[in-house]
Structure formats: structure tokens, C-alpha cells
Amino acid sequence: MNQKKSREYIRKRLHQFDELFVRSEEEAQALAAQCRVSARALIMRAEANSSLPAENWSGFYAALDAADRRAMGDWREKLRDAMRSFRRHRRVALGGLFLALALAFFTLVPAGRAIAERVFNYVITVFDKQLEIDQAEEKALYDSRGYDVPEVLTEEQIAEYGYDEDGNLIIMSEPVYYDSIASFEEKFGLDAFELVSDQLTCTEVIEYNHISAGKSLRTVYRTKDDLNIYVIEEWSQGDGASIGFRGEIKQKTILDGRTIHYAIDPADDTFDGFVLLENSFLGIHADKGVDLDFIWSLLS
């Protein structure tokens, strides 16, 4: 198959290559138009699940390589635009559930295998206004091969989530609500991050479970000025993440020596921050008007 035919085949059938990654032909077309990295990841997953020999896939990779060469120079801007688009889409689709989570903690391309038990060992790479989070050994493989490792779901993961009435694999289970962080910790034996201050009131504690991303806990805190601080903690099963910021990314040492990457959104003056903890990812978003010094005092 030559490059032209491969390119057309990809464009018309992208949504069929990985039903876990895209839900419709329209979404596949949007991904293909906004970020070719996603197309490459889908091709790799299709190849991994196929019994066809490697030479049968060479036309696909040649087409993607040619497109990458033509697009060289503006791919970072396209990636940032794609992340903004995903952020807006998710806000609408979830009806405000992740309102201004603006962390953009929405994985564009899962980077790595979703394995149930692994050492929590991640690295962060900063590209202008983009953070790339990868498992250390996965990053080395990515650097040497130039593409993501195909994601593999274990039989245990599939059995835990099951299928819906239409026969589709359930990707995210129903959220679970708690009256306190302590109740969540007692149930799972996890030490969850908590903001402690007499100037804050915890208003929401919600657990989410994603078949590949793992378990996460979303907490919302209300200040005395009726402003919100949102916290997401994720106990990842192996996936990395692409996190987009609209402001300049800065660094600060917090929590006894850990580094937070953060930015102030120039459009709405909100705060977004991300830090790696001992066994989890932690993201913090604060409404406009929340004093930056107050945030640092919470993370001291």
C-alpha cells in the first residue's frame, strides 16, 4: 500500500483501529486533524492487536512520517490547540463536573502500558507551555524508538469494569461520593492529600475509576470569600499524561522538597499546578482571586 492510499485509509477508518481510544468517526477525524501523534498511537495499537506481519503496516508509518516532516515546526502549537479543544469539550460533555479543572489533566495519548502493579517512577519534561509525564523506563523506550508503547489492558482490568448492555467495554465506573477524605482513606488504605486550613471548607469528595488511568480523588474546597480550590489526586496504573498550560510554566519547591510546575492563566487569572508525590499525581486549580501566597502556605 503506497503513502497516498495509506493516508486515505487512515482518514476513513481511524475510529475503527482502537474503540477504547475514540468513540466515533467524528472524534477520530478531529483527532487526526488536530494532532498526528494520536494517529500514530492508534496505528501502533492496531498493529499490536493484529496478526498481520510488520511489513503490512509500513505504508501507514511512511504516510505518518511524511506528514510529520511536512508539519515540522508548528506541531507544538497544534498540540497546544488540541489540548485546549479537549479541555473545552470535556467541560461541556461532563456538564461542569470538571469545571475549571483547567489542569488539562486529560490524557491526549496514553503513554505506556496500563499495568496493575508497578513502581511509581515518573519523570516530567517541560516543552514551553506543555508538560509531558512519563514513566522513567517508558520515556527511555520512547526516546529510542520515537513513539509510544502500545497500551495493553489486563484481563483483571476488563473483568473489574465489565461491559454495558450494548456490549461496549465500560471505561469509567460511576463516581463514588464521600462525606470526608478520611472515609475514602479508611476504605482503601490510601493516604490522600488534604488541604488543611481554618480558612477552607471541604465541600466535595468524589472518587473516580478509569480502566487505564486508575483511581483518582477529586476534592473541592471553598474559601471564606466563596472561591473554590480544586484538587485532583491520581494513583496511576501506568499511563503518562500531556498537560497543557496557557500561561508561562514556573517551578517552586513545596511539600518538603517536591517541585510543583504551575502557571497563571493569562485569560482568566486562574492558577494551575501539578506535582509528583510519593505514590500519586497531584493537580491543583484555584479560582481567580485566590491569593497566591495563601496557596503556597497550604503547600508549605
Which pLDDT value is given to residue 206? 92
What residues does each domain of the chain span?
1-72, 74-300
Which pLDDT value is given to residue 125? 63
CA-to-CA distance for 49 and 45, rounded, in angstroms? 6
Backbone angles phi, psi at 298, to 5 degrees: -70, -25
Q: Which residues contact 108 (CB under 8 A, 6 or more apart)?
A: 35, 37, 38, 79, 82, 83, 86, 242
Which pLDDT value is given to residue 137? 58
pLDDT along the chain (300 residues), means of 10: 57 48 52 49 62 67 63 47 46 34 32 32 60 59 48 66 77 86 90 93 90 83 94 75 72 87 86 84 90 93
Question: Helices 25-34 and 3-17, interaxial angle, to 10°?
Answer: 130
Which pLDDT value is given to residue 75? 42
CA-to-CA distance for 233 and 193, rounded, in angstroms? 7
Which pLDDT value is given to residue 30? 56
Q: State the sign of the Cα–Cα–Cα–Cα dihedral 12, 18, 19, 24.
A: negative
Which pLDDT value is given to residue 128? 62
Which pLDDT value is given to residue 175? 87
CA-to-CA distance for 181 and 233, rounded, in angstroms? 12
CA-to-CA distance for 217 and 224, rounded, in angstroms? 23
pTM: 0.55
If 0-12 CB within 10 Å is exposed, 13-18 middle and 19+ buried, where does residue 203 land? exposed
Task: Give the Å distances, CA to CA, from 195 to 31, 115, 278.
Answer: 37, 30, 17
The three cell numbers of residue 174 are 460511576
CA-to-CA distance for 82 and 97, rounded, in angstroms? 21
Which pLDDT value is given to residue 123? 59
CA-to-CA distance for 110 and 213, rounded, in angstroms? 8
